[in-house]
Chains A and B, each alone.
Chain A
């Protein structure tokens, strides 16, 4: 399977804490994106990071990319109950097709 791996599979934290989730992939990429999905709903695009970038920020989100290790991480700072969702990474290896990771289910407790 070409699917990427994410860890942890599930994460439960208290409101205000930081949440970190990791994504590993198998092939060289052009870019990597992080998405959020609320239960039973569509995907919301969070951040796109290009292969020549190492870090990117967007509000409370920080994404890093290490192409030598074929891995990326998503950090959500000062988490809120509304951040409860599943988070997926998706990689594009230049074929215009995105391969999704297995996802991390985040639960933020109020």
Chain B
């Protein structure tokens, strides 16, 4: 099946710094990538939808200036958490969609961000 990778798998950063998380589709071209956030023992909340070559579409309540998304190519999307604060600590998961009409998505393994 299709493989999506994320890097790094975990990161610890200091409050006020920025962190970049990469999401790559390894063996297929992803027309659309999605970024989710998950708090402990909770479900995934969609943050934004990213289409290659265009601006990301953010869900209501997600600060686009804080969570910068760049979909530079058909295999790479990045999420940058700017001026991170402890409340940004979370598990961030990306997914990528192929051209399948049934819209199946493939998920990355996730990145655990801890802001100290």
Contacts and interface: CB of A to CB of B under 8 A. Distances in A.
A43 B103 contact: no
A63 to B, nearest CB: 14
A98 B46 contact: yes
Interface range, B side? 20 to 34
Interface stretch (B14-22, B64-72, B81-89, B108-116): B108-116
Q: Is the interface of B mostly helix, strand, loop or mixed?
A: strand
B24 interface: no
Interface residues of A, number: 25
B63 interface: no
Interface string A31-42: 101010000111
Given A30-B103, A45-B104, A48-B102, A96 B97 contact: yes
Given A31-B102, A48-B102, A100-B45, 4 more contacts: A42-B6, A42-B110, A97-B34, A102-B43
Interface of B: 1, 6, 32, 34, 36, 41-46, 49, 91, 93, 95, 97, 102-110, 112
